[in-house]
Structure 1
């Protein structure tokens, strides 16, 4: 698969404070790469360096065969976390203006804008000023602006923030469709459930350095221990006495048992005692959300697991 964006050895400091250090990853054509990390981890700094809003102190950013200031910004779409559209400008005018800045043909831009406004439930809003739109509508317009010029690389910073569930589904469907049509997508979001649904690979940073880089499947296999959820009338003492248990979280009749690393679920299930009351039972791996919380709160999961490379 063709590599669209290569970030290699990126480093940036402000007033002698190191913000990011030795950041390296790739985004390939047609894939959704998630850029994750707690607040202050360095995600926005990384994105701003890619966009040329600022330039790194060390490292290189390559788009196709172009690097640094030579990167063709008209081939990149960007939805920033801090939304901002001219409030007193009509929707169609702002969309066409932003498309023109990307040297996109005006007639084609208008045609695509009308198609997208209809798709996102904004049909008839093209002559409405931005300030008259609801927050969700405004976010849809800005999303349309980021994709109207058919970018080869699309950078989305918190695209789902503030959206209702229906609008989230619209965005998810469109992002998947863009990827299927070959757009390389770099997605930054704190909504781990949505990332887990969509991302092909992920790059997670903490305190400006890489912690995880790999496919979602590899990450779950490497870091996500199994957990077992049991519904039944069981005492905490009995549950905690079960083999290969790291901790137990119990709420009335529901208990979540976090299993030790390298446990083989099929064998573990066979060794459960007969006195255990099981009305329902399920086993799965811990979620990406739980992995993220583990990293953000400096627990021990990653220290035990080591580091995953793509």
Structure 2
């Protein structure tokens, strides 16, 4: 396998007469994040489960470096009849190379689950269950983590907490393979992006910004979500920018020529700027 922590070759998956994945091959190195994108039902989750060893391919092979420690964050979690606290304790004790117990308390605090420990998981919301799935994957020391729509249903602060945690682990050498629709996750973490289209893997997708021009990305928190789009349409040209709404936080991607105008709008409307970045399109 050489430098790759995981390598998949010619993966095919068929359900009856329907072929979902067609001869897909990909690799990931330590410290690398690979993003999988595509429309709903294109096979992202199926490929993740095959790579993680949770499902068998119809043909093809997945190879891992010896001793690789893996974790999987599913896109949904079962509503079982067990309190969240007991579940977390059970998952913690299952780990052979676990983080300290104080680390589990830290995650419960960071994801705002401390008050829900006595609640049966069958009564928890999708977003809260997704937080539980995230924490159980973080309890042990990992070399490779698979993430299937990990931000789904989570509040903005929890999304940012997860991304920061993943970034730190990635810098320490953990590899990530992510299936997601959220551009926020892709932009913050992905080193390579692949699109699954009609069962095949299409690489060479421009990373984040596209080609030729210099772009900026502005993450901001408006005082009120009402009227944000109308204000931007009034103040900015019709082309050269787009906005993504994450709930309480929004992100604008635009030509850097519009940066001064964007800062002026935020100052005038008292919108709080969370982060500003520039990047050359490649």
* TM-score (norm. length: structure 2): 0.69
Q: Post-superposition shift, 1:148?
A: 0.9
Distance 1:55 1:137 in 2: 30
Runs (5+) with no aligned partner, structure 1: 67-71, 229-250, 259-279, 284-310
Q: How big is the shift at 1:226?
A: 5.1
Q: In structure 2, do the counterparts of structure 1 residues 21 and 103 end up closer, same or farther at CA, with 3 Å as the change threshold?
A: same
- Are residues 132 and 17 of structure 1, via their aligned partners in 2, closer, same or farther at CA, if it must alter by over 3 Å? closer
* Conserved? CA contact 1:32–1:199, under 8 Å: yes
- Alpha-carbon distance in structure 2 between the residues aligned to 1:92 and 1:198: 30
1:171 to 143, 162, 177: 162
> Offset of 1:184 from its aligned partner?
0.9
Q: Distance in 1 between matches of 2:87 and 2:148?
A: 20
User: Where does residue 237 of structure 2 map in the other structure?
Assistant: 254
User: 1:145 aligned to 2:139?
Assistant: no
With over 3 angstroms needed to count, the CA separation of the structure-2 counterparts of 1:50 and 1:85, relative to structure 1, is farther
1:109–1:149 CA contact under 8 A, matched in 2: no
* Residues 188-227 of structure 1 mapped to structure 2, 5 A cutoff: 188-213=179-204, 216=207, 224=211
Retained in 2: the 8 A contact 1:3–1:29? yes
Q: Distance in 2 between matches of 1:281 and 1:63?
A: 46
Give 1:234's aligned residue. none
Whether 1:29 aligns to 2:30 is yes
Structure 1 residues 224 and 40: alpha-carbon distance in aligned structure 2, compared to 1, 3 A threshold? farther
Query: Once the 2 structures are TM-superposed, how far is the Cα of residue 125 of structure 1 from its aligned partner?
Result: 4.1
- 1:166-218 residue CA offsets vs partner (Å, 9 max, x unmatched): 2211111111112112211111111124312321111211111011247837x
Question: Which residue in 1 is equivalent to 2:58?
Answer: 57
Q: TM-score, normalised by structure 1?
A: 0.63
Q: Equivalents in 1 of 2:140, 2:199: separation in Å? A: 32
Distance 1:102 1:49 in 2: 22
Unpaired stretches in structure 2, ≥5 consecutive residues = 216-232, 242-255, 260-282
